[in-house]
Amino acid sequence: MSVHELRRKTGDASEKITINLGVVDLGQIDLLVQEGFYSNRTDLIRTAIRNQLAAHAEVVRETVTRKAFVLGLQDYSRSDLEALQAAGEALQIQVLGLARIADDVSPELARATIESVVVLGALHASAAVKAALADRIH
């Protein structure tokens, strides 16, 4: 299994989120955009989120260490899972970032080798694998 540090790159995959804001907050955001502080609403929101993440970076680092999370990108290939199955081992996936289970992993192989899944961020896997692991995803 390979671990890669996530870095922002042009064209890097991102996840879309939806937030609800009050009209006063939204108006203030629009005012700051109009005054040229930010290029658009998304720019302000991303900047605010990054500032909060930077302010809490130490807590994130301590928690990742304490809870034994993989930080960044974790790929699980069919061959990785087949090797675990051959060794009679089970996998506990704990990722802060992006966990990807390869498209060629069957639901049966996933159930046989993945004991639990905790992903803070995004889990990319086929719909069939996600359905097979539904009772193990926390």
Amino acid at 21: L
Q: Which of 6-10, 36-40, 119-123 has the lowest mean pLDDT?
A: 6-10
- pLDDT tens column, 11-39: 456 888 999 999 999 999 999 999 999 99
In a 13 Å sphere around the CA of 4, the CA atoms on its Cβ side amount to 10
Burial of 126 (0-12, 13-18, 19+ CB in 10 A): middle
The CA distance from 70 to 89, in Å, is: 19
Q: Where are the domains of the chain?
A: 23-56, 68-133
- pLDDT tens column, 38-82: 999 999 999 999 999 999 999 999 988 888 899 999 999 999 999
Burial of 119 (0-12, 13-18, 19+ CB in 10 A): buried
What does pTM read for this prediction? 0.70
Q: What is the mean pLDDT of residues 93-111?
A: 97
